[in-house]
Structures are given as structure tokens and as C-alpha cells.
Chains A and B, each alone.
Chain A
Amino acid sequence: MEERSGSFGRFAALGLATAVATTLAAFLSIESDRGILTLLLIIGAGAFAAGRTGILRPWFRQAVEHQRTTGIGLLLSTVALCIVFRDDHFSLFLIGRVLLIILACLGLHLEFGSAGVVNFAGAAFFGVGGYTAAVLNAHSQMPHLLVLGAGGVASALIGSLLLLPLLRTRGHYAALITIAFGLLFRTFVEVNDSLGGPQGLKLDGLRILGWRFNDQLAIGPLHASFYANYVLLAVALLSLAFALVQRLEGSWIGLALDAIRLDEIAAATFGFEIARWKILAFTLGNFLIGVAGALSAFMVGFLAPNNFTFPESLTLVSIVLLGGIGNPWGVALAAFIVVLLPEKLQILQEYRYLLYASLVILILRFRPAGLIPRALRRYFGQPA
């Protein structure tokens, strides 16, 4: 019995991953607005029916149970998508962008999904990583793999400047500090001429150990758009970050973060050192955001202050919230919806902020736990 449930579980996990990838492939390959809308209707109807009848529930349960298999399945599916869309620049670019946004949102997830430290300056930290990468790329010979790390470190360091006020304040007061920082950063890069001012900065392509990311990717007879390089690197980084976040969540560190988020005073009376865990979550979160920003800067090849505005920060926050605060899988789903939908539905492009905002208002008002709510922590092995 045990054995069979195990193999069904793995099968279910891989099956779901394949289904997700197929849907995504369909979504990316349809060009017309009408086609996309039809697909959305089918998905919506399917999700509604599945929700009502509960047919897919055991599958999802197994997929959650076998997270590692699901993860590997999704990883392989992304590689498969790279092969399918090998000469479609735009689709690969979109996949890369979504992956990097998920990476950044994992950072936010650590910050306020786990530890409850608000951060309304996500786009600013993303920008810190990007600008660090651009400056190091232009003025130094630092190996590019280190440049990506440096983007993360710079973001974490600048974030640590905010730590003192953040630790002393809470709630709305803490929110103000990050909002003020976000506005400050945007203005700073806009008026600072050595950072390109409003025109922004250009970057050369990424090079790691002789692998030139801006050349066509060629493996044997297969040739692919250069964006495939970035997608592969992004998916590798994202997998690492995802594993890290899940490990943290499952460990006693995650437990400490949960306790602090839920009730600081109670956590303090039980001997948790609040400052230490908040510092850990905020620094690590900003590091992830910074790395995502650095790689994104390389991928786009261009940086401008207008990419790091306050509405962009809000978009990142809404992704975390939409997915379900505290659930990294939900974050991934929400990132796909929020990033891909307006890109593919041309009629929405103009209305996209209006759309996100209305969507978040509806979610907050009627389903405050998000699309995939946080699961309860399990303390003892398998459920009965």
C-alpha cells in the first residue's frame, strides 16, 4: 500500500508538472487575443469544475506531498519549453522574465510571508542589484558569476542600512520606511548622472566561464535563441532559491520566523531573538531580490529608473499576496498570471495596472488568503 501510494504520488506530481508546462506552451504559442481569451475561459472553467467536484484534489495532495518530484518535473518542463520555443525570442524572454520575478518574489516571501517584515521597496532592491551589475560590468573585470552575487550582496547591504529604523518601528511606521526608501532610490538613480540619469545604462552580455550568453545557444544540432541561456541560468538559480526557501521553512528557523510573524510579543516571551531573525529574513530576502535584479539587467541589456518605480514595487507585493502570503507555489502561479497575461493580451497592456489593482482589491476583499493559501505547518510525518 505504502509502495503504491508512493509511485502514484510521483506520477501525480510529474503529471501535474507536465500539465502546467503544456498549458504554458499553449499560452505562449497562441498569438491572437481571441485565442488567449478562449484558452483562459477553458482553464477557468476547468479550474472551477475541478474545484467543485474535487477530482484533482488527490493529485494536488500528492504533488504537495512529493514536492521534490514536482519541482524536478517543473525544472525539466522548463528545459523542454526552452527546446520547444528555441527560436522564439519573445516567448523565451517572457519565460526568463517570469522566472526572475518569481526569484525576486521569493525574497519578498521570506521577508513578509515568513518573518512579517514589510517591504514596499521590492523594485528598488531589484534595481540596486541591476545597477550594481551594470556598474561592475562597465568598470571592472570582475567575473560575471561574481557580479551576480555582488548584485545580491549590494542589495542586502543597502537593505541593512534600513535595518535600524525597521527594527525599532512596526506596522505602518515600518511600511513608511520602505516606501520612503523606494521613492528615494528612484529619484536618486534618475538624477545621478554617473548612473545614466533618466536615460539609464546599457549592459554587455553575460559571460560565465567562457559561456557567452548573448550568442546563440547550440547543443549538437539544436540551435536556440540567446535568451535560452538566460532562461537556463534563471531556472538553475530559481531552483536553488526555491530549495533554500523550502528548507528554511521546514527547519526550526522557519518555525522561529512563523512565531515572530504571528505574535512578536509572545515569541519574545518564549525566548526568540526577534531582531536576529528579522535581520536574517530581511537580508536574505534582499539578497535574492538583488540577484534577480542583476540577472534581469543582463538579460534585458538595459536599465532605466522607470523600471524601478513604486507601482512596480506594488506589483511585486501583489504577486506575493495574490498567490497566498507564505506559499511559494502560490507566488509562482501568481507571477505567471501577473507577468504573462498583460504581455500576451495586447488589449490589456494599456490597462494592466488598473487590472492588477482591481484584481488585488477583489482578492483582498473576498479571498484574503490568496489563490493557494498557506498550508498549515505539519509537525509529525505523514497525515493519517
Chain B
Amino acid sequence: MNIGLLGQYVINGMMLGMMYALVAVGFSLFFGVLDVIQFSHGDVVTGGAFAGLAVYLAVSRTIESPLLLLAAALIGAAASMAVLGALIGRGLVLPLRSAPALNTLLLTLMVGTVLREGIRLFFPNGSQPQRFPALLGARALGIGSFTLRLDNVLLLGMGTLLIAGMHLLIARTRLGLAIRAVAQDEETARTSGIPFNRVVLLTFAIGSVLSAFAGVMHGLYYNEINFGMGLLLGAIGFSAAVIGGLGNLYGAILGGFLFAGLQTVGAVALPLPSAYKDVFAFGVVIVLMAWRPTGLIGERASERV
């Protein structure tokens, strides 16, 4: 294998890893504040992509500049998914807090199904894959056998900025402090005057904004989106968050890139047809769980009785 091809695989793997990491961070955030898995998160990603596309279709007649169009699509996707995420949190997840974990998991899985089917049935021609416009241009840099697409670089940069921003938000701001406090101990946080419900809903909104960005990114990268893409993205994001260690942001990012790495290795380096890459990646996830039952950067707390 030559260097150019290797570089191509690395770039593709990093793109996938960035998307997975953005989704996984959401899972980890929700688990941190509420100890629940919000499984419809994957379909919120789809929702973000479709919202972005809808905004694009709505304003592309009046606005010419691709940059403004991109900004409009991103803002539309982020705002609508923030509202959707907070609504799911308010209406469905918070009321079920005292129910068994299985109920919450199943409920959110079903919310995901509703979102997915809603897009399939009610988006115009939604059961077919939709073309996503290449808003970042198609310019590419050729270095020998290695072509570096400019939009990939921009997307990677955007993802890195988002993750860095997320880190700053959690580590440096008052809101981040509140989120961490709620994640650590809800009751103490409440007695210190932290508005629990508001922090939880804001967390849901923030996580959903990240997933909306991931959705638009997915559209820009593949130039195509479809109603069912969130199912696999959600499962992968959840896997990534879990192998990293639930509730740990950096674990989620690590898990995202690890999963993308596994897929790339499964597609390229194994003596199997590349179609087996997901079989390989999920197989490794199961083995990893057997080895480190609470993830690579696991929760250290033991169970209280």
C-alpha cells in the first residue's frame, strides 16, 4: 500500500471519528446529568441533517453565497434540534426518572422510531435518499496519489473547534460547573441552589446541537442523507460513549475515534471483504465490554446499597 492511499484512509477515518465523537459526547452528557441513555439521539442527528436541508431548500432561492447558506443551514439545524432535544427531555425523559432504566431506554428507542418514521412519511419523498448540496465547494489538493479535499479539512477544523468549545463550556463556565455538579450529585447540587430541571434541559439542548452539527457534517461529507442513517449512527455513538466510559466526555471522544479506527482497520487491513467492517467493529466492541465492563476510562464508583 502506498503512502497516498494510507493518507486517504487516515483522513476518512478521522472524518468518521469526528462525527462519531460528536454524537457520543451527547450520549455521555445526558448520561452524566440524568443517568439515562437517550437513544433517540441518533435520530436527532438525522433530524439535524434534514432540518439543515430544509432550511437550505427554503432560502437557496434568495441567498446566493454558499457561506451564508451554510451558516443558515447550520443555525436552522442547531436551533430546531436544540428545541427538539429539550422537548424530549422535558416531556418524556424527566417524567420517567423513577422508572426502571429499561423503560427509559425503550421509551427513547421508540421516540427515535417516531422521529425516523416521521421523516420517512412526512418529509417530501422522504423514503428516498436525499441529495445534500456541497456547500463547501469541491476543490481538492492533489499531492501525488493523495487527494486532500478542501471541504474535509474545513469539516475537520469545524469539528475540532466544536469539541474544544465543548471542553471550554464544561470546564470553564458557570453552566459547565452546574452540569458537572448535577452529574456528580443531584441532591447536593439542588441544595446549593442549582436549578436542576433547567440545567438538565440545557444539557439536552447542548447535546442535541452537537448532534445537529454531526448530521449536517454527515450530509456535507457524503453529499447524501437518508431517513434511516440515524439508527446506525446512534448505535455507533452509543457504543463509542460506552467503550470510552459513560459520563466521561473525553472517553466519548476517544471512543468515537476508536470506533472509526476499528471500522477503517476492518475495511482495509483484515483479510476479509470490506463489507465485514461493521461486523468486525461491533465484535470488537463486545469483546472490549467483556474486558472493561464499564469502559476504557471507566466509572470508578462502586455501587451503594
Contact = CB atoms under 8 A, between A and B. Distances in A.
A191 B275 contact: yes
Given A183-B235, A188-B279, A357-B117, A265 B286 contact: no
Interface in A275-327: 310-311, 314, 317-318, 321
Interface in B86-128: 92, 95-96, 99, 101-103, 105-107, 109-111, 113-114, 116-118, 121
B282 A181 contact: yes
Given A354-B121, A358-B110, 13 more contacts: A165-B289, A175-B105, A176-B239, A266-B305, A354-B118, A356-B113, A357-B113, A358-B114, A360-B110, A361-B111, A365-B95, A365-B107, A368-B99
Contact of B305 (A112, A168, A265, A357): A265
A257 to B, nearest CB: 16
A173 B275 contact: no
Determine the interface band of chain B, counting residues with CB < 8 A from chain A: 35 or more
Nearest to A193: B273
B15 interface: no
Contacts of A181: 282, 286
Nearest to A118: B102
A200 B106 CA distance: 29
12 contacts: A173-B295, A179-B235, A180-B285, A183-B278, A184-B278, A184-B282, A190-B275, A191-B275, A314-B106, A357-B113, A357-B114, A365-B107
Nearest to A314: B109
Nearest to A191: B275
Contact of A191 (B31, B101, B273, B290): B273
B130 interface: no
A162 B106 CA distance: 21
Contacts of A30: none
B110 A265 contact: no
Contacts of A162: 286
Contacts of B185: none
Nearest to B117: A354
B64 interface: no
B19 to A, nearest CB: 17
Given A175-B37, A361-B107, A361-B111, A112 B102 contact: yes
Given A177-B286, A187-B279, A172 B37 contact: yes
A239 B295 CA distance: 42
Contacts of A364: 96, 99, 103, 106-107, 110
Nearest to A116: B102
Contacts of A169: 289, 293-294
Interface residues of A, number: 42
A360 B31 contact: no
B238 interface: yes
Contacts of A190: 275
Contacts of B276: 187-188, 191
B273 to A, nearest CB: 7
Contacts of B51: none
Interface hub of A118, A358, A360 (most chain B Cβ within 10 A): A360
Interface of B: 31, 37, 92, 95-96, 99, 101-103, 105-107, 109-111, 113-114, 116-118, 121, 231-232, 235, 238-239, 242, 246, 273, 275-276, 278-279, 282-283, 285-287, 289-290, 293-295, 303, 305
A248 B46 CA distance: 44
Contacts of B103: 321, 364, 368
B293 A180 contact: no
B107 A354 contact: no
Interface in A335-364: 350-351, 353-354, 356-358, 360-361, 364
A210 interface: no
A171 interface: yes
B302 to A, nearest CB: 11
A164 interface: yes
Interface string A151-191: 00000000000101100110111011101110110011011
